[in-house]
Structure 1
Amino acid sequence: MIPPHGGQLRPIAERFGLPLEGLLDFSANINPEGPPASVFTTLHKALEDPATLTDYPDLQQSALKQAIASYAQVTAQNIVVANGFVPLLEAVLRTLPIRRCLLPVPAFNEYRKALARARVEVVPHPLSEHLNFRYDLDSAPRTDAILMANPQNPTGVLHDLATILAIVKRAAREGVHVLLDEAFIDYTPEHSLAPLVERYPNLIVFRSVTKFHGIPGLRVAYLAANPALTAEMELNLPPWPITTLAAEAVRAALTDLPYAERTRMLNRERREYVQHELHNLGIATYPAAANYLLLRPPSHMDTNNLWQRLIREHGIVLRDCANYEALAPGHLRAAIRTEPANERLIEALRQAMQGPAKQS
């Protein structure tokens, strides 16, 4: 069975009878540099004060919202925080009168699940692989909302700000809400629409802190929207969604601007290297702007067999994309990691594509 998400190493280790610590994870798109050093310093200092654990977190999360607002170039009144993207999306669906939602696919699998739980009719809109999964919604049916991502997952394809803004403007004229997931926009922040939420009340932008800053274990995400909407959404979230430690860590991470610039530079260089080497192996990729690549090995290869061989023979875990809706069979997704890890991946793929499978 294919894991429903990346980063699920324990069930994979159990399935293949391998030690967990021996697996190299390319299935989860987390910054391989780890958290900024300031996060560790902040957490150590916070734990020296017993009140960090004995007092309730700030119910309003005022300091956290202000730090996020400064980072995203909005006001604190534009921000809602929660312990992950899914709780935020569910709060939106409880707040807005959405009955039918357009879902361009392939897309993050949790979109459809959240819509189904909210009893929203999903209207899938398959994107063309031949057009590199570009958003072409001219022929899409009319709905109450559009749920989309920039950059996309699993493709990594980025649309520039003007392209997404044109969709938002057209949707505004038609009374349609645009729910825009920007979980990986930190790699190209100049294309974020978050600063425009005051101008377009139909726009709701979701952002993640944990992927880019390497702290997924702390579970923090936020959305930016018009203040009239955020006030209502706050009422549809449970109290205390963010722990004190998580809030302190995120505030430290967001103010470390040299870390962010270095992350963007390293990711761009590493991604270009991996793409070049993959193409030399005959593995196709798509134009990506995030910290992962969608791979398509040659059509004669059994992709699931390749995925298993990489695990059994090399301890390398890619994301098998067979469970992505409307994505043609034969795709894998690989995160961008450090130089030694990336070289290990390329060599493992070279061996797995050239030689016969070893007996397990």
Structure 2
Amino acid sequence: MPDETEVFDQARLRHHGDVEVRPGMVDFAVNVQGGAPPEWLRGRLAGRLGELGRYPGEADVRAARAGVAARHGRAEDEVLLLGGVAEGFAMLPRLGSALAAVIHPSFTEPELALREGGVPVTRVILESPYTLDGAGVPEDADLVVIGNPTNPTSVLHAAASIRALRRPGRVLVVDEAFADAVPGEPESLAGESLPDVLVFRSLTKTWALAGLRCGYVLGAPELLARLNHGRAHWPLGTLQLEAIAAVSEPAAVAEARRKAESIAADRAAMIPRLRELGIEVHEPAAGPFLLIRVPDAELLRKQLADKGIAVRRGDTFPGLDTGFLRVAVRPAAEVGRLVAAIREVGL
């Protein structure tokens, strides 16, 4: 039996922003954009409802994989489709790592999956301003996990700094769940065919598909085969496959770029409004969320919840303390409600 400390730590690693949100709240806790998929995408999905009496077909799998491959300029055998990136992280223990290093603060599911899979994990904690320093990664780590841009710090690491983490016999895992929310995706490794790098991509954030669970991982066929080994038959349903194919088409990729530009503009407008309240906002920030620090984050979070506004606690991310919160980037009207509520309760 694990001791109480380990149980508590696992609970913290499993904590995500969705548990902060009740129906009807103004949601700054979850990083999904728009609240619902665009109408054209809903139409594509609705058009397949009549086929749910049949098992997903191989043609659907091939179409989705081909769409992702074309979107990133990769070969089709370098694409493994996922029922959400979290499913992919749950596969990481299949790589048989002897020592994994997870760079924090960052999304906690990879560490949790590795620990639950019996893989020894060492944490590499970056101090503010959370700039990547490969010197902290043990040389004998044969698996390294990093987010880019990183949740929750919103830091975008240089692709060259991430490549510098590569070593003979090591697999580098890059969580790019929010990369499509960065205009131009300048530091992405998704388009590079590197034999020792796995790039995870989520489709649930930009396209508001959190309830459908869609994503994929890009990498060498041999690594993908190890991840896929032992997986259940029909791992993705017809609607998931349709969604992946749809949002990989050129018109959808162009729409995602426009969304990224809109997010960047909203973020640039949001930061000074928060700072005017005396809130410390971490910059540089490149993602669709901001890491903030206030004198009593837990009290503010509860006071905002009482006013119908959800924000994400930050202390469950390794390397952050109880003074931190994460807030999603939102349009001006929603930010106005957040600002007004913070003025009412004070800091």
1:218 to 212, 221, 230: 212
Q: 2:253, 2:173 → 1: CA distance? A: 27
AA in 2 matched with 1:318: V
CA contact (8 A) 2:83 2:240 kept: no
Match in the other structure for 1:305: 299
Q: Return 202-211 or 69-78, whichever deviates more.
A: 69-78
TM-score, L = length of structure 2: 0.89
CA contact (8 A) 2:298 2:322 kept: no
Q: CA deviation at 1:203?
A: 0.6
AA in 2 matched with 1:97: G
Q: 1:260, 1:209 → 2: CA distance? A: 10
Q: CA deviation at 1:310?
A: 0.6
CA contact (8 A) 1:38 1:253 kept: no
Match in the other structure for 1:122: 121
- Which consecutive unaligned segments of at least 5 residues does structure 2 have? 1-10
Deviations 1:214-241 (A, max 9, x none): 1111101110001222233333322212
Deviations 1:96-129 (A, max 9, x none): 2301101112221212210111111011111111
Q: CA deviation at 1:33?
A: 6.3
**Corresponding residue SS for 1:332:** strand
Query: Does 2:98 match 1:87?
Result: no
Query: Does 2:190 match 1:194?
Result: yes
Q: 2:133, 2:254 → 1: CA distance? A: 36
Q: CA deviation at 1:155?
A: 0.7
CA contact (8 A) 2:199 2:219 kept: yes
Q: 1:176, 1:253 → 2: CA distance? A: 32
Query: Does 2:46 match 1:44?
Result: yes
Q: CA deviation at 1:263?
A: 0.5
**Sequence identity, in percent?**
30
Query: Does 2:25 match 1:6?
Result: no
Summarize the alignment of residues 68-83 of structure 1 with structure 2, pairs less than 5 Å apart: 68-83=68-83
Q: 2:321, 2:236 → 1: CA distance? A: 38
1:31 to 9, 30, 33: 33
Give the 3 Å change call, closer, same or farther, for CA 258–193 of structure 1 in structure 2. closer
Q: CA deviation at 1:190?
A: 2.7
Q: 1:316, 1:123 → 2: CA distance? A: 35
Q: CA deviation at 1:335?
A: 0.5
TM-score, L = length of structure 1: 0.86
Give the 3 Å change call, closer, same or farther, for CA 125–272 of structure 1 in structure 2. same
Match in the other structure for 1:319: 312
1:331 to 292, 304, 324: 324
2:221 to 224, 227, 239: 227
Q: 1:330, 1:237 → 2: CA distance? A: 41
AA in 2 matched with 1:41: G
AA in 2 matched with 1:273: A
Q: Return 267-276 or 232-241, whichever deviates more.
A: 232-241
Q: 1:75, 1:346 → 2: CA distance? A: 47
Give the 3 Å change call, closer, same or farther, for CA 38–253 of structure 1 in structure 2. farther
Summarize the alignment of residues 45-60 of structure 1 with structure 2, pairs less than 5 Å apart: 45-47=47-49, 50=50, 52-59=51-58
Q: CA deviation at 1:305?
A: 0.7
Match in the other structure for 2:144: 146
Q: 2:233, 2:98 → 1: CA distance? A: 26
Match in the other structure for 2:155: 157
Match in the other structure for 1:347: 340
Q: CA deviation at 1:59?
A: 4.7
**Corresponding residue SS for 2:207:** coil
CA contact (8 A) 2:292 2:324 kept: yes
Q: CA deviation at 1:133?
A: 0.7
Match in the other structure for 2:112: 113
**Corresponding residue SS for 1:102:** strand
CA contact (8 A) 1:35 1:253 kept: no
**Corresponding residue SS for 1:154:** coil
**Corresponding residue SS for 1:337:** coil
- Which consecutive unaligned segments of at least 5 residues does structure 1 have? 14-19, 355-360
